Amino acid sequence: MSTVVSAPGKVLIAGGYLVLEPAYSGIVISASSRFYTVITDKDGIGAFTIQVRSPQFVDATWKYTVSVSEARVDVQEHADNTSKNKFVYLALKKTLDFSHEVVGASSLSATLTQGLDIAIAGDNDFYSQRANLEALGLPRTLESLDKIEPFAATGVTLGDVHKTGMGSSASLITSLVSALLLHTKTIPATSFDEVHTDGRRLAHNLAQYVHCLAQGKVGSGFDVSAAAFGSHIYTRFNPDVIRPLMSDNSNIALQDIISPSNGDWNYRVEPFQLPPLTRIMLADVDAGSDTPSLVGKVLAWRKSEPEHSRALWTALDQTNQSLAKTLRKLSDMHAENSGAYTSAVQYIGTLETSQWLANPTRPAAERAIAQTFLEAHDLSESIRRQMREMGKLAGVPIEPEQQTQLLDQCVNITGVIGGGVPGAGGFDAIWLLVLEPVDTTTDGAPVARVEETWARAEAVSPLLASESLAKGCRVEFLDTVKGLKTAISRT
Ligand SMILES: Nc1ncnc2c1ncn2[C@@H]1O[C@H](COP(=O)(O)OP(=O)(O)OP(=O)(O)O)[C@@H](O)[C@H]1O
Ligand SMILES: C[C@@](O)(CCOP(=O)(O)O)CC(=O)O
């Protein structure tokens, strides 16, 4: 029997930079693309040995020896490991430390007597598939992506892979920490059956801490939060909660700090999901050389222009919150009158936004729904303008000219609600929110129109992901995840 836990990737559609401060929030959408951790007790690996493998990569096996005493747990990397993985090492070390505190030395030793094989696999979306599609001679479409073998080998080392910005390290850490907590019986087996359990919150807190330690900084944490809880409106935690644990040799007990009953974990996770009959579309864009220090420069500007930047951030936050409210209102409108909602989507899905309210003879209920979709469009355009303004003032390409041209073209496609640059922005990705009418036989689907536009743009390659409605990380069965068993049996 294996323990299998998956955790979703993310896209921050509103709130980039602002979400670093507790006064502001971000809209984070969890993606259907996931990271999977598969833990199996295995003879032949050696007692108290943990082998972690990432079969999609070259030179990606790491072995560790664990020693457990009444007083402590030690995790030693094998001398013949040919590469290091700080993220994996810290996830093992800190989760086993935590487990030792909770279940005790003898229970933890019992889990480790056989040796553990831990296989990690990420959906193809986490890595650019541009080269794979070219090699297969396939056009850059969703259908082509579906033809690529699941969890395809990348042919390169982790350091050389071209990531797509979906939050690979956060999803990996969240799935690995969660799977280990379950496998060591540190949290109940049912912890991920529901959204609000102490086990899930504990896994989140521990994953946040491990991720911060591995990254060497305390970021906003929205990516780990999406991996743990799914789509939501995120407001950050006060970094002071984990500060005492941030030095590598801290000897403080983890339990008191990591426990969900520690009230200092003051992050807020407010329920959110995209409205019915809409779909998020993501693309990997190759629009120019990236500036790695966007965040550093924006924060330097925020510091040097405190008043001006606060005014801009407060105004931008209001637009972000209005977008969240408007999208929620659409979900409510669907709940109240799904017939009118379905017809409204059917109707406006064939028109450009300028025409959504042009016909005064449409039924009032449908016009109200179309009006709300139009508000969502206007708000996402307004967020883009404010993000561009921030980029200009901070002197960084948050929505560079190439992305502006591409996005202007995309948001004018019939049936597209809006879009933008995700997270911190830059040259390498865009997101769109697109209508998905039920009947596309006569007028075609907006998704297909977007794909056609993207296929013509040399720089753009779509990702398969849509929104994941599962609320964050979850337990999986090895046999029911397409291609997972084959992928993890590769050497
Ligand atoms: N498939 C994997 N197997 C093992 N370790 C992985 C894997 N994917 C990511 N990692 C770990 O995460 C690190 C990358 O973290 P980094 O913070 O650079 O990525 P990220 O910002 O999360 O990426 P993304 O662009 O997907 O948002 C790698 O160096 C490695 O330690
Ligand atoms: C700039 C920031 O707010 C978002 C970065 O998001 P992304 O990794 O570009 O999706 C940083 C953060 O929240 O940690």
What one-character-per-residue DSSP string does 91-136 give?
Answer: HHHHHHHHHHHHH-HHHHHHHHTT-EEEEEEE-GGGB--HHHHHHH
Is the CB of residue 222 below 6 angstroms from any atom belonging to ligand 2? yes
Q: What is the mean pLDDT of the chain?
A: 96
d(CA 187, CA 433): 37
d(CA 330, CA 322) in angstroms, rounded, equals 12
Question: What CA–CA distance (Å, rounded) separates 340 from 328?
Answer: 17
Do 250 and 332 fall within a single domain? no
Do both 429 and 392 map to the same domain?
yes
Neighbours of 204 (CB within 10 A): 27
CA–CA distance, 188 with 85 (Å, rounded to integer):
28
pLDDT-flagged residues of the chain (< 50): none
Q: Which residue has the tokens 């005064």?
A: 360
Residue 76 region by backbone torsions, left for phi larger than 0, else alpha for psi between -120 and 50, else beta: beta
At 249 the pLDDT is 67
* Predicted local confidence at residue 248, as pLDDT: 63
Identify whether residues 304 and 191 lie together within a single domain: no
Q: Are residues 197 and 54 in the same domain?
A: yes
**Is this complex scored with an ipTM above 0.95?**
yes
CATH number of residue 111's parent domain: 3.30.230.10
Question: Do 259 and 309 share a structural domain?
Answer: no
Ligand 2 geometric centre to CA of 363 (Å) = 42
Distance separating alpha carbons of residues 328 and 326, to the nearest angstrom: 5
What per-residue confidence (pLDDT) applies to 293?
Answer: 85
Q: Are residues 265 and 283 in the same domain?
A: no
Ligand nearest to the CA of 424: 2
Give ∠ CA 455-461-466 in degrees, rounded to 5: 105
Q: 86 and 153 in contact (C-beta within 8 Å)?
A: no
pLDDT the model gives residue 288: 74
Closest-lying ligand 2 atom to the alpha carbon of residue 12 = 10
For residues 409 and 477, state if they share a domain: no
Pocket test for ligand 1, best of 87, 126, 176, 284 (most atoms within 8 A of CB): 87
Total domains, the chain: 2
Which bound ligand lies closest to the C-alpha atom of 158? 1
Whether residues 266 and 369 fall in one domain: no
What is the rounded CA–CA span in Å between residue 341 and residue 331?
A: 9
Q: Is 88 touching ligand 1 by the criterion CB < 6 Å?
A: yes
Shared domain check, 252 and 347: no
Residue whose Cα lies nearest atom 6 of ligand 1: it is: 169
Same domain? For 481 and 334 the reply is no
Nearest CA, atom 8, ligand 2: 423
16: CB partners within 8 A, 6+ apart: 26, 387, 398, 421, 422, 423, 424, 425
pLDDT per residue over 257-270, tens digit each? 999 999 999 999 99
CATH number at residue 328: 3.30.70.890
Parent domain of 15: 2-272+470-489
What is the β-pairing status of strands 49-53 and 116-122?
A: parallel
| Closest ligand relative to 217 C-alpha | 2
Task: For residue 223, give the amino acid letter.
Answer: D
| 147 and 218 belong to one structural domain | yes
Looking from the CA of residue 165, the nearest atom of ligand 1 is 25
From the CA of 345, how far away is ligand 1's center (Å)? 38
Question: What pLDDT is stored for residue 491 in this prediction?
Answer: 75
* In a shared domain, residues 229 and 312: no
> Quick one: which atom of ligand 1 is closest to the CA of 122?
1
Smallest Cα–Cα separation from 281: which of 380, 158, 386, 416?
A: 416
CA gap 53, 401 in Å, rounded: 41
Ramachandran region, residue 72 (left: φ > 0; alpha: ψ -120 to 50; beta: rest): beta
The model's pLDDT over 343-376, given as tens digits with 9 standing for 90+, comes to 999 999 999 999 999 999 999 999 999 999 999 9
